Structure formats: structure tokens, C-alpha cells
Amino acid sequence: MILSSKALKWFFRILISIIVLLILIRLFMPVMISSGIVYWFEKQQLNATVEEVRIDLGEGLFSINGLNVLRDSDQVLNLDQLAVSWSWSDLMDSVVSIPVIKVKAVSFGIDQSEKGDLVIAGIALSNFSKDSSSQASNVDSEEEPMPWTVVLDSLDFSNFNICYRQQAIYDYCAAFEKLGWQGGFQMNLADIGGNTIPFFAKGGVELDGFTLHSNQLKRNLASFDGLRIQGLNMQTSDSIAVDQFSVSTLNLLDRVSDELAGQVTGFEDIQINGFTLNGLQSLTIKEVRVINHEALLITDADKKLEIEEWLVPVSKQEPDGVEVENHENGSFQFAIEKLDYHTDKTIEYRDNSLQPPLMVNLNGIQFSLLGLDSSQPGQNSQVRYSANYGEHGKMNFEGTARPLQQKKSFNLTGNIKGLDLRNISAITREAIGHSIKSGQLDAKLKLQAEKNELDSEVDLSLYHFELKSVSAEDEEKINADFGIPLNSSLSLLRDSDNTIRLVIPVTGDLDNPDLDASDAITKATSEAITAAIINYYTPFGLVYAVGGLIDLASALSFEPVKFMAAKDSIDVTAGKNLGELIKLMNERPGVHLTLCALTNSADRQSLFPETAGIPAEELKLTAEQQAGLLALGENRSRNIKQYLTDRKIDASRLIICSAEHREGEGLSGVEISI
């Protein structure tokens, strides 16, 4: 059909009107939106400026650039850019399709009052709750829901900075460099109003350059380089599945001090594979991997853990009318098929409340746990653990445990080898008033408990174990606890290799708060020593056995390794003597040697020439000079131990005792004895 000229005129008039309308919208709509934004903030008693609002109806683009909001002279919101794109083609199907939302450079604060009222970016949310409630009363409850669906393909956020403050209790700022979402997101607006949020999401998340900063402590509480969520699948807000969740270079609790730097603890990588959450009722995880964890934990002189300064005190008082849910038999269930922890870095603990300070150093830790299921707390989980302690010590155990059972049960066996007991001298000094002059420990562990009742056994081998009392009072007390003099009882237990072997039972209730570890060890050791003396030495005459062992131990010594004054390197003569020792060690694999270093006046005069010529009765060494001499002796013992271990002698057979300085022309070297 051919249109008449009159119809064509009306068609072109309508077309021109539409074009003019679109042009007017494009010209004036940004101004109107900009003015509307400024006016809206003015109603909130805020001053706002907008650099630019852009609209491209043809391409489906909308952006706000340079939004700045002030309360008086304080900035409460800064937005560099908000950009949204959409697709016109899907509107006919009641679908709002948004390919991408970009937000660039945002900073704002969140303040919470004592009553719990929130102010976000200078805007009090309580005002909106009142407005919405009044409006809701005028809305027909039978109003039909909106038959629209919102679809979002990707998010691109960058340079966010959000601060949260609650009076003087909390004051934190969180920031990240980039947050990205790629995938599909869909929400059906018609279904809003149920118990769950009606949306579907499938894709991946990337979060880079995150920090959580404490403004009170002026340091970071947490930071990480990158967070990745791969294979995210959400059917509803409470049904989530993730193929892999990972965090890289995670650092927690930064410390700032003149002596210590870095963070309290950090992780190179944490991975969670096969994460599934169903209905907020059950969680299953196929594998958790923790890679290269490091930590430095410190207790100060007042027995206070350093990390307490990061903790915010929280009132335990519950608000009136609030019922606290009892989770003892909670319905939430979780299961982890495998937990794998391994690190090549160091886990260190320093206790400065002990003198000398206790330092525990673990590295090369391997830990695995299989089959953890809260729905079956009585099910055994497989446990395996190994670690290096200090320079040469090693420990491991494996077996089964029920860590989720209310009353714990476990059955583990393990070993400790080459543990330098001088490292725990601070503990024995406080517990029994004796420091450890020398000693190395091997042990076979049988760790068992059934429903919190311990029935364990520790089979100890103590090589060249020497205790030194701190005071006469401490010595008298420990002798009374043991029933016989401690040093005499230890001498009775030494075999021809100067080794003490004890089997110590460890029993009791895991939940007993009155259990004193030092008293339990003293009692168990005392019983083991008494049994060994009665069973072995009594038939041969107790006095004769004591004298015989003491004489034998003092006779089993070798030619000492001598050093040039103030030197710690091994020369040809010393190497030749050590060669004879190596031969003996290879022929007698059960022999253990003690290396005890001595320094003399020649060492002192070479290291500190200013002390030469001072009569002995007038000589007073400074703390620095004493430390230098002891360090020289310690290096000599360490160099000999390293020399022997380099020649295939097991380090666990070589025990270093504390170095000593003796004025005079005595030995400048290392005494070696069995």
C-alpha cells in the first residue's frame, strides 16, 4: 500500500519530533541528573559537586565523573567515576542486561554510634528507614511484583578506600587496588520477598592489593597481594559452590618496632579446593592447602602475648532481650576431606618472661589431616606431622585422632631425635630451679587418650645430660621432690655412653585445670628413676655403683682440640686428631660425644688487647668482653661439630655444652668426652 502525501507528512513530523526529543534528552538529561544529585545531597545537609554526567542512549552508556561530597569542610565521599552500560535489545523481554559496571577511585567512611545507627558517606541511614516505613504503609500489599530480570556480566572496581569507625573502639580502613568479576549474574525481581535472595551467579572473582589498616595502632592488621575465586556457582544466596579459593602473600598483624620488623604471621599461599555450602546448613571442602607459613610469636617479660595489643576488648554482656543461641549440638555441619600444611619457612616463639629467654624454632613442617567430619565426631581422622627443631633436631608422629569429639581421643606414635636440650634450659630453670648445661634428647612417643583420659608413654634417651642448680635452695627443693639427690639419681642412670634412658608414663585428665605440668613431670621422672635404681643397681651394691660410674665417666675423655689464641678455625693437627675420632665413631655407632669449649687468658688478651698486663685480682671483664669470649668458645664447638657432620657423622651424636672462660694458661680449645 502506498502512503498518501498527508500520511507521509505526519510520519516525518513524528520522526523529527522523536529525533528532537532524543537530542533534547541527550543535551539536558546530564544537566538534570547532575542537578538532581546535588539537590539530593543538599537535602542530607551535604555539599556536592559533579564534574560531568555523560549519557549515550544509542550505545547504552551512562557515567558520573568527579563526584565530591563534603560535610562542612570534611570530605565524606569521593568518586572518580561510575560507569554503567546496558543493552536496549533485551528490554522488550523485561530483561535489564548490563554488560559491565565500572567504579573507579572511591573513598568514603562508615560511622556507627553507640546505639548502632549507621552514617555512610555522611548520610544517616536512620532517615531512610523512617521514610521507607511511612511510604510502605501507603503501598497496597496486593501490588503485583515487578516482572523484571537483571543480568550483569562483569564488574570492574579499582582503588577503593573505605573506613569504619565506632566511637573509640573500632577505627579501621580497608583498601584494595582492583576488584573484578567475570561471568554471569542474574536476579529475578519478581521473586524478591522470600527467605533467600533470588539470584544466580557463575564465574570468577579477582581481588588485588588488599589492606586492612588500624588507625589506632597505625599499622596494617591484614594484607594480601591477590585473592582468586574460580568456578563460582551460586544458585541462591545460601547455596554456593567454588572450584578453588586462593589467597597469595597474606600477612597478618604488622609490627612496628626498632628491634623487630615484618608481621606476626604470614602465608605465601592458601588454597581451598572443592568448596560447597548448602542452605547455610552444611559445608564440605575437598582440600585445604596452606603453603609456606611463617610466624614470630612473642611473650613479654610480664607473660603477656604480644598479639594482645592487636585485640579489641569485647564486652561479654549480651543486650537485654537477646537470646544467645546454643551451638553445642548445633545443626551446622562441615567436612574437610584433606588438610595439607607444609612450610619451608620458620615458626618461632620467644618467651621473654623466662631467663634466659626461651626460643623455640620450628621449620620444615609437614602436617596432614584426613577425614574431618562434624556429623561423625566419633570417626577417626588420619594425622601425620613432621618438623625440624632448631639446627639439627627432628620430630614426627602419625596415627589417628578424633578432634571434633567432645571428649578427645587419639592414638599416635612418633619420634624425637637430636633435640638440643639447652634450648629449653629456661623452662627447667623456672620449673625445677636447674639449668641445663648440656644434653641431647631422643624419644619414642606413644600418645594415647580415650575420651580425655591420657594413657601415654614417653621413652627417653638423654645423652650427656648435665643439670646445674641455680641456688642451694632450689637444689634442696628438687632433691626433696625426687626423694633422693637429683644429681646422684642421674648418675645412677647413666650407662657407659653417659646416656640416661627413661620410660615415663603420662596419665591424667585432659580437661583437668589443676594439672601442673612441672609437678607431673617431676613425679613421673622420680618414679622412673626409683624403679630403675631398685631393679638394676641394688643387687650390685648402691655405693659401689655410684663410685664406679663417676670414675668411669671422668676417664672416658679424649685429647682436646687446641686452637690458636682468639682463633676458631681447625688446623692440620686438630684435623688429624678429629680423624681418629671419626674412626671411633664409625666403629662404635652407639657412642655420643660432648663438645665443651674453654677460653683462657691468651684468648682474652688477643681479643681485647686493652686488658693485657692487668693483674688477675684487678681484672674485671665487661659484659661485652665476656660475651665475646663465650661466642669464641661456642664457634669452636660448632666448627668441630660441623667438621664431623661434613664427614658423615650424625649430628644427633654430637652434643655441645655451654662454653666457659677460665683465666690462666689452661686449655684454649674444646674438651671431648663420651
Q: Which string of DSSP letters, residue by residue, matches 58-79?
A: TTTEEEEEEEEEEETTEEEEEE
- Phi (first) and psi of residue 467, to 5 degrees: -105, 150
Sequence-distant (6+) residues with CB within 8 A of 10 are none
Residue 390 covered by a domain: yes
Are 528 and 580 in the same domain? no
Per the CB < 8 A criterion, the answer to whether 463 and 498 are in contact is yes
In the chain, which stretches have pLDDT less than 70?
Answer: 1-28, 92, 126-146, 189-198, 237, 256-261, 312-330, 479, 481-489, 491-493, 496, 512-558, 588, 590, 674
Q: Distance between CA 349 and CA 434 in Å, rounded?
A: 22
**Closest-CA residue to 442 (of 458, 423, 429, 426):** 458
Co-location of 436 and 528 in the same domain: yes
Q: How far apart are the first and last CA of the chain?
A: 119
Query: 548 and 560: one domain?
Result: no
Q: Which of 518, 538, 553 finishes a domain?
A: 553
**Residue 425 to residue 540: CA distance in whole angstroms:** 34
Residue 45 lies inside a defined structural domain of this protein: yes
Which tens digits make up the pLDDT trace of 144-183? 555 778 888 899 999 999 999 887 778 899 999 999 998 8
Question: CA–CA distance from 421 to each of 68, 417, 427, 630 (Å)?
Answer: 64, 11, 10, 19
Query: Who contacts 520 (Cβ-Cβ below 8 Å, separation ≥6)?
Result: 506, 508
Give the pLDDT confidence score for residue 129 in this predicted structure: 53
For residue 488, what pLDDT is reported? 59
pLDDT value at residue 631: 95
| Same domain flag for 200 and 53 | yes
Clarify whether residues 194 and 103 are in a common domain.
Answer: yes
**One domain for residues 563 and 467:** no
Residue 170 in domain: yes
Q: According to the 3-state scheme, what is the secondary structure of 277-302?
A: EECCCEEEEEEEEEEEEEEEEEECCC
Long-range contacts at 451-455 (CB < 8 A, ≥ 24 apart): 451/405, 451/407, 451/408, 451/409, 452/407, 452/408, 452/409, 452/509, 452/510, 452/511, 453/507, 453/508, 453/509, 453/510, 454/506, 454/507, 454/508, 454/509, 454/510, 455/507
Same domain (yes/no): 235, 249: yes
Q: Which of 553, 586, 614 delimits the end of a domain?
A: 553
Whether residue 138 lies inside any domain: the answer is no
Domain at 665, CATH number: 3.30.1330.60
667 lies in some domain: yes
Angle at which helix 517-532 crosses helix 472-482, to 10 degrees, equals 60
What crossing angle do the helices spanning 472-482 and 486-493 adopt, rounded to 10°?
60
Rounded CA-CA distance 551/537 in Å is 16
Integer Cα distance of 348 and 43 in angstroms: 57
Note whether 258 and 302 are same-domain residues: no
User: Using an 8 Å Cβ cutoff, are 489 and 533 in contact?
Assistant: yes
For residues 441 and 527, state if they share a domain: yes
The number of distinct structural domains making up the chain is 4
Please count the CA atoms within 13 angstroms of the CA of 11 that sit on its side-chain side: 6
Whether 21 is in a domain gets the answer: no
| pTM reported for the whole predicted model | 0.72
CA–CA gap between residue 536 and residue 534 (Å, rounded): 6
Last residue of a domain, one of 553, 587, 604: 553
Is 312 inside any structural domain?
A: no
For residue 487, tell me if it sits in a domain: yes
CA distance 401 to 370: 10
Residue 186 and residue 170: Cα distance in Å, rounded? 36
Domain span at 538: 407-553
In terms of Cα–Cα distance, which of 123, 235, 217 is closest to 172? 217
Residues 361, 469, single domain; the answer is no
Residues 178 and 253 in one domain: yes
Distance from CA of residue 316 to its chain's centroid?
A: 26
Judgement on whether residues 573 and 596 belong to the same structural domain of the protein: yes
